[in-house]
Amino acid sequence: MPRRKTSWALIIWTVIFAVWIIAGIAGNDCASQTGDGVISNQTAQDACAAGTGIGVALIFVLWFIGFVALSLVWLMTRGRRSRDCPVCGKSVKRGLVKCDNCGHDFRPSNQSQRAEQLSSPAADG
């Protein structure tokens, strides 16, 4: 089933940010952090871990904001799966040529006349 462009944008957006978050978590090398004369080694490693956590949280917030925006675009651009009958006002599924409620024919008049001629038996004999 083909997807809309906004569906692909949502998928790609999520994949990019998932890779970015995983790389941010896996790429931190806090164990190699060493303190100097002011802070201890443990404090330097804890600060590195806190910085990684803040960075990942910010990436997650950016992903969420973009995901919400793209989801709103996706919802607003989706097509209707039905149409209203101009005679009775009932909702009729797309693809149907007649309204189930009142029998209104949605085909243009020349197409409906041709279809009726083709479906009626020949009077030629």
- Tens digits of residue pLDDT in 74-99: 888 876 677 888 888 888 887 788 88
What is the rounded distance in angstroms from the CA atom of residue 112 to the CA atom of residue 21?
Answer: 58
Q: What pLDDT sits at residue 36? A: 82
Q: What pLDDT sits at residue 51? A: 92
pLDDT category of residue 110 using cuts at 50, 70 and 90 = low
Selected residue with higher pLDDT from 6 and 115:
6
pLDDT category of residue 114 using cuts at 50, 70 and 90 = low
Nearest to 60 by CA among 14, 106, 27: 14
Q: Read off the tokens for 85.
A: 């009958």
